[in-house]
Amino acid sequence: MNAPLADRIRPKTLDDVVGQQHILGPNKVLRRIIESGTIPNMVFYGPSGVGKTTVASIIAKQSHMHLCKLNGTTASTADIRDVVAQVNTLQAVNGVLLYLDEIQYFNKKQQQTLLEFIENGSITLIASTTENPYFYVYNAILSRSTVFEFKPVEKEEVARAVDRAFRILSEDLGEEIRLEDGVTSYIASACGGDVRKAMNAAELCTAAVRSEDEPRITMELAEQLTQRSAMRYDRDGDAHYDILSAFQKSMRGSDPDAALHYLARLLEAGDLASACRRLMVCACEDVGLAWPQIIPIVKAAVDAAMMVGLPEARIPLADAVILTATAPKSNSGESAIDAAMRDVKAGKLGVIPRTLQNVHYDGSDVAKKGQFYRYPHDYPDHWLDQQYLPDALLGASYYHYGDNKNEQAFKAYWENIKRKHSS
């Protein structure tokens, strides 16, 4: 049985690797390290299918080290010890290079066992992870390793690999596979920078036309077999939070097109709840007092979306996202509550003024009897100058009017009233 295309097409040298030129290009740091022959412990961080395993294999080959592979989802402490047992054997005369995929799934005890063998030099570690290593990898391992970030491969680079894949598949089939215009470009684009997914798509397309007298891959077929391959999404992973962050920041930045793009990615992944939650947060946090009427409007759109579900939910959510992105912005409310909470957390509390306390009688310890609270609605303009903050916080100012039309109107209103009553 033939090996998967992704394995057969796997680059054998650094020059054959597609993408990652920021670390593997001429005179770039990782390339210089590999060419030096002295391989340190490393952590490769980045999405799947972008060359982490391939580069580790090339490193092992060029350094003449014995390559052992483990996966963090299935490997145990015993597996680590089995790898170490190969040190100083005939097959590992130049040392052992352990490639540990998905290290984030190792618990602390397993990572500590790994650390023991890293420290005494028994093995050289290359660990890979699709998650941020600074959150998931034991600090002691990170401090003894160099972290390299692998990025999604550019479309043009993926297209090179797709063309090569179809050449190999044509050789396997014994006749040329004809491609409709745009197929290579579509697969390269739809894979979302994941070369392995692009290889799988090419292989699936070929399998679908293998029995034809004149095998031909159409755009329709390519779209059917790669339609969801661009989605990099794990609700517990970095991609989830990256998309949500970009979604809100695009609305905050008043870019409706970008906001709709990220909304589409959330909905395509079926994450309706996260889209609704972040939209509500943005309406309150980023539009806020500049146009407070937006809050019930967005809430109504969110309720409608949750009621009808996908795919129809996209319609009220799109309306609400465009409205939020194009609305005037103010974060004065958020800034005000954050400032107040900083004081509270710092212990700046003070005694609530007696005029504001829920007191119905005076104890014997109170020299001046009576609460002396004055009801603002009994006074002109429903306002009077009265102390509300504790003595310890007199003069504290948390809320500052935003520079939008709505808040400036309120500011002018209250400045006029206070000026009138101070004269």
Domain extent listing, the chain: 20-149, 155-226, 238-326, 337-422
Is the CATH code 2.60.40.1840 the one for domain 337-422?
no
pLDDT of 212 > 80? The answer is yes
pLDDT of 237 > 60? The answer is no
Q: Report phi then psi at 212, rounded to 5.
A: -75, 150
Residue 204 half-sphere exposure toward CB, CA atoms < 13 A: 15
CA distance 336 to 333: 5
Length of the chain: 423
The fold for domain 155-226 equals Helicase, Ruva Protein; domain 3 (1.10.8)
Q: What is the pLDDT of residues 252-311, one digit of tens each?
A: 999 999 999 999 988 887 788 889 999 999 999 999 999 999 999 999 999 999 888 888
Is the CATH code 3.90.550.10 the one for domain 20-149?
no
Instruction: Give pLDDT, residue 354.
Output: 82
- Decide: helix, strand or coil at residue 100: strand
Confidence of residue 1 (pLDDT cuts 50, 70, 90): very low
Q: What is the dihedral of CA 163, 165, 169, 175, to 10 degrees?
A: 20
Mean pLDDT, residues 394-399 = 94
| % pLDDT > 70, the chain | 92
Q: Report phi then psi at 158, rounded to 5.
A: -65, -40
- How distant, in Å, are the alpha carbons of 65, 83, 115 from that of 86? 12, 6, 17
Does residue 421 contact residue 381 with C-beta atoms inside 8 Å? yes
State the DSSP code for 351. P
User: What residues does 100 pair with on adjacent strands?
Assistant: 70, 127
Q: Which long-range contacts (CB under 8 A, 24 or more apart) does 321-324 make?
A: 321/251, 321/256, 321/259, 321/260, 321/263, 321/279, 322/256, 322/259, 322/260, 323/294, 323/297, 323/298, 324/251, 324/259, 324/279, 324/282, 324/283, 324/286, 324/287, 324/294, 324/298
Does residue 153 contact residue 48 with C-beta atoms inside 8 Å? no
Instruction: Give pLDDT, residue 104.
Output: 87
For domain 238-326, which architecture applies? Up-down Bundle (1.20)
**Lowest-pLDDT range, 89-93, 161-165, 300-304, 391-395?**
89-93
pLDDT of 338 > 90? The answer is yes
**Diameter of the chain measured on Cα atoms:** 105
| CA–centroid distance for 328 within its chain | 27
Q: Which long-range contacts (CB under 8 A, 24 or more apart) does 380-383 make?
A: 380/421, 381/417, 381/420, 381/421, 383/417, 383/418, 383/421
- Count Cβ atoms within 10 A of the Cβ of residue 36 and give its class: 0-12 exposed, 13-18 middle, 19 or more buried: exposed
pLDDT of 362 > 80? The answer is no
CA distance 57 to 11: 9
pLDDT, greater one: 195 or 328: 328
Does residue 205 contact residue 165 with C-beta atoms inside 8 Å? no
Mean pLDDT, residues 355-378 = 71
Mean of the per-residue pLDDT values for the chain? Answer: 87
Q: Report phi then psi at 177, rounded to 5.
A: -90, 120
State the DSSP code for 378. G
Q: Nearest-CA neighbor of 400 among 348, 328, 327, 333?
A: 333
Q: What is the pLDDT of residues 120-146, one digit of tens each?
A: 888 899 999 988 888 788 888 998 999
Handedness of CA 9, 14, 16, 20 (dihedral sign): positive
Cα 25–Cα 27–Cα 31 angle in degrees, nearest 5: 65
Q: Cβ atoms within 10 A of the Cβ of 351, count?
A: 9
Amino acid (one-letter) located at 308: V
Does residue 11 contact residue 153 with C-beta atoms inside 8 Å? no
pLDDT of 234 > 60? The answer is no
Confidence of residue 88 (pLDDT cuts 50, 70, 90): confident
- How distant, in Å, are the alpha carbons of 174, 205, 215, 280, 335 from that of 252? 56, 42, 50, 12, 15
